[in-house]
Structure 1
Amino acid sequence: MRILIFGINYSPELTGIGKYTGEMGAWFAAQGHDVAVVTAKPYYPEWKIHQAYKGTGWTTEKIAGVTVYRVPLYVPKRVTAKKRILHEFSFLAGVSPKWFGLLLKKRYDIVINITPPFHLGFFAASYAKLRGAKLITHIQDLQVDAAKELGMINNKKALDLLFKAEKYLLDKSHAVSSISLGMKKKILAKGVPESKYVMFPNWVDEDVIKPLTREDSLRNEWGIPMEDRVVLYSGNLGEKQGLEIIINAAERFRDRPNVHFIICGSGGARDRLKDMADRAGLRQVQFYPLQPYEKLPALLATADVHLVLQKKSASDLVMPSKLTGILAAGGCAIVSAVPGTSLHDIMYMHQLGILIEPESAEALATGLQQALNEDLTPFRERARQYAERFLSKDQLLKEFERHLVKLTTYEKQT
């Protein structure tokens, strides 16, 4: 098959949507498909264009057998709601000339639109319509729902317009996929028939991310004694994620210097969180940059306890991508989730970790006390078993490929 992917994030971004889209593109190319991607310069999660891509306009490169068309975009130093809108529309402006160029090239059989941003779908849908391709909309985050529920957009007319635009794109899609049951419920409620829906969760390469010993972790590199306890948060440090509760909870362990709080990542809140920890004199709170993928197994093995912290309003729209790696590494996670959400249900049903109330430093401190005072071996064993059964990269991508084959009536040569 010839597959064209539209998405704002792509490899070499190490985390978030770009990681998964990059791995998907590379996997399809490895199966012999002809794959191209229209994407931005890599900038996430640092919100800074990677050094190797600075000062370039529209470029083309090959990554793992995939033709990658890069377009310029505006990346704000400080992310606000207005600047994020400008950021996304600047990307659409950059896509426009490349879209026209692709119309003149050999036709693609499949167009996959990765959302957010959802309005990128207008380019994907138009290409599919004009060239007779099949359109798949893959939803990593229900952007308009999230903007409404987080209070980022309160104007009713604006929301109505956005929901109508979203419905138009969903109606034009030949298939719609998403990463969680919570999203599926909302997507079906928008009028998407179940026959068009495809469950396509984020995955993990369980052959790469697997349980390691403490001796194989980053403890020696970071000067952390093997017998000490480590609480790890790794990922984007966004302003609106409520990560202050990590610092607040760490204050409860001030008199336990053998309990280390490691925060790995970058983002708008990093400097503020570090300043909070410094002002409180919390020397056991340490900050490190996001680690490269090849160090991820060692990073995950460093922790006794992992933190997966969600806002109350977001926990049923987003299945945290960091959780897949934690589970594959056989880690025990403290997860904040509201009862009744898909995240809560999965964690509770499979007993994969310790559930706490979102946005509560008190609940986090209590969860940490529990985790640091009991045998976590059963949690770790169940986590790894769950990853092998439900999150296998090869298994999930093969299943998604089968859906694409059905859409195009393409018969793969064996």
Structure 2
Amino acid sequence: MRIGLLTQWYDPEPGPAALPATLARGLAARGHQVSVLTGFPNYPTGRLPQGWTMTRRRRRVEDGVSVTRVALYPSHDGSAARRMANYASFGASALVNGLSAVRGADAIWVNYSPITIAPPMLAARHALGIPLVCHVADLWPDTLTAGGFAPSHPGIGRVVDAGLHRWCAAMYAASAKVTYISPGVHDVLRDRGVPEHKLAYAPMWAEESTFSPADDATRRLGEQWREGLGIGPEDVLVLYAGALGHAQGLETLIDAAAAVDDPRLRVVVAGSGVAEEALRARAAKTAPAGRILVPGRVPQSQMPVLMAAADVCFVGLAATPLTRITMPSKTQATLAAGKAILVAADGDIRQVVADSGAGWAVGSGDVAGLTGAMRLVCNSGRGGLAARGHGARSHYERHFGLARALDRAEEHLEAARASVR
């Protein structure tokens, strides 16, 4: 097939932003002709990486994939205006400068978040006649509200919310298939008018070149990293690595870790974001000295070492209406790395923990529950946690692995192509 991929986020942007590139390369490796329309990389710093220069349009073949990048306003800070300028500028630039990149495709896989991608998406469908698969990774407009970007005035908020719902409805209506990454989203989309025959479950995968069971050399580096932080061979290390924002529920992690009376417990909260300084101050104030370390952002290239060093990885979500149907990408990354998992969240992610047997899960914001779970983590010891990690990897391969994701993507893209024959 000739496959188009429309996404604001793409390699070399790290974390979840890198996953569309994994999909593109995987499809190309299976013999498909893949063309990507994306923006210049600026996540998560809001700045272009060293060596990159913004131009109106740039086309390169990257790992067997034709990648067209178009100019955008780079930003990823806490300003709602600048964040929306980032989103909207890509949508407009992709429409004006990049649409030719997907011309002639048999079907296009659309990473629908943010929904400002609608202009090039709808133009591809209605002007170029290309069928679409709309991949709902973040549910809109709910994501906007949960992120604190909704208007504060109730009347204006209702008008904006209604307009965004109509905007999303147009995107769903234009799509042959609407895929979703968390089981709970199915009912929400159905209730919002998406026909059942369009809906399909397509959970996210992990960047498996980064998140996989460590080899001997990486394990040795992980032990050295632990030693450098003063973490002993019998200590149990809980790792959180990622964005340090308000949505991740990291206050719950810090408060629970501070309350555990087992001296073996060590916690590393690595990353950067708007809550970084507040979390560092909270840890210093509430926890025993050396219990919680907040070292700042760690380069993506070091993630395999951090994962090898960890005994269990934390995934958290603050309590919002969206929490129950959210599946953080850190879930798949943890399972793929073969690590035990510790969760403070509600909804679908807790079912993954139960099904995999890979760890412990409590509700969002449940400090007492998480404190108890951390005691169980310590009592399991490093050996017991490693055994849970083996089960985590097996569950990932059966349900979330890239090979399974590529099978699903091919199936949905072929269904979209067939819908216009």
Report the CA distance shift for 1:248/1:45 in structure 2 as closer, same or farther (over 3 A).
Answer: same
Q: Is the 8 A contact 1:3 1:108 kept in 2?
A: yes
**Residue 362 (structure 2) pairs with residue 356 (structure 1):** yes
Report the CA distance shift for 1:165/1:296 in structure 2 as closer, same or farther (over 3 A).
Answer: same
Gap regions ≥5 residues in structure 2: none
1:264 aligned to 254, 265, 270, which one?
270
Residue in structure 2 matched with residue 404 of structure 1 by the alignment: 413
1:201 aligned to 200, 203, 206, which one?
203
* Post-superposition offset of 1:127: 1.3
Residue in structure 2 matched with residue 131 of structure 1 by the alignment: 128
**Residue 55 (structure 2) pairs with residue 51 (structure 1):** no
Report the CA distance shift for 1:205/1:43 in structure 2 as closer, same or farther (over 3 A).
Answer: closer
2:333 aligned to 309, 325, 328, which one?
325
1:89-124 residue CA offsets vs partner (Å, 9 max, x unmatched): 12223223224545xx85221122112111312311
Residue in structure 1 matched with residue 300 of structure 2 by the alignment: 292
* Post-superposition offset of 1:215: 4.2
* Post-superposition offset of 1:311: 1.7
1:13-48 residue CA offsets vs partner (Å, 9 max, x unmatched): 2201x2210101111122222222121221223333
Report the CA distance shift for 1:40/1:55 in structure 2 as closer, same or farther (over 3 A).
Answer: closer
Residue in structure 2 matched with residue 188 of structure 1 by the alignment: 190
Measure, in 2, the Cα distance between the counterparts of 1:372 and 1:166.
Answer: 46
* Post-superposition offset of 1:192: 1.5
1:364-375 pair list within 5 angstroms: 364-374=370-380, 375=384
Measure, in 1, the Cα distance between the counterparts of 2:284 and 2:49.
Answer: 29
**Residue 38 (structure 2) pairs with residue 39 (structure 1):** yes
Report the CA distance shift for 1:28/1:195 in structure 2 as closer, same or farther (over 3 A).
Answer: same
Q: Aligned letter for 1:359?
A: G
Q: Aligned letter for 2:111?
A: I
SS in structure 2 of the partner of residue 79 of structure 1:
coil
Q: Is the 8 A contact 2:72 2:86 kept in 1?
A: yes
Measure, in 2, the Cα distance between the counterparts of 1:60 and 1:152.
Answer: 33
Q: Is the 8 A contact 1:212 1:329 kept in 2?
A: no
Gap regions ≥5 residues in structure 1: none
Report the CA distance shift for 1:5/1:270 in structure 2 as closer, same or farther (over 3 A).
Answer: same
Instruction: Out of 245-254 and 217-226, give the one that drifted further.
Output: 245-254
Q: Is the 8 A contact 2:256 2:370 kept in 1?
A: yes
Measure, in 2, the Cα distance between the counterparts of 1:63 and 1:318.
Answer: 31
Instruction: Out of 351-360 and 52-61, give the one that drifted further.
Output: 52-61
Q: Is the 8 A contact 1:113 1:121 kept in 2?
A: no
The sequence identity of aligned pairs, in percent, is 26
* Post-superposition offset of 1:279: 5.4
Residue in structure 1 matched with residue 351 of structure 2 by the alignment: 345
1:37-76 residue CA offsets vs partner (Å, 9 max, x unmatched): 1212212233332222245443222221112222222233
Q: Aligned letter for 2:413?
A: L
Residue in structure 2 matched with residue 175 of structure 1 by the alignment: 177
Q: Is the 8 A contact 2:339 2:386 kept in 1?
A: no
Measure, in 2, the Cα distance between the counterparts of 1:87 and 1:288.
Answer: 25
Residue in structure 2 matched with residue 113 of structure 1 by the alignment: 110
2:385 aligned to 376, 383, 394, which one?
376
1:129-169 residue CA offsets vs partner (Å, 9 max, x unmatched): 22221111111110202334566425111101110111111
SS in structure 2 of the partner of residue 403 of structure 1:
helix
Measure, in 1, the Cα distance between the counterparts of 2:372 and 2:416.
Answer: 50
TM-score (norm 2): 0.86
SS in structure 2 of the partner of residue 218 of structure 1:
helix
* Post-superposition offset of 1:351: 2.9
Q: Aligned letter for 2:191?
A: A
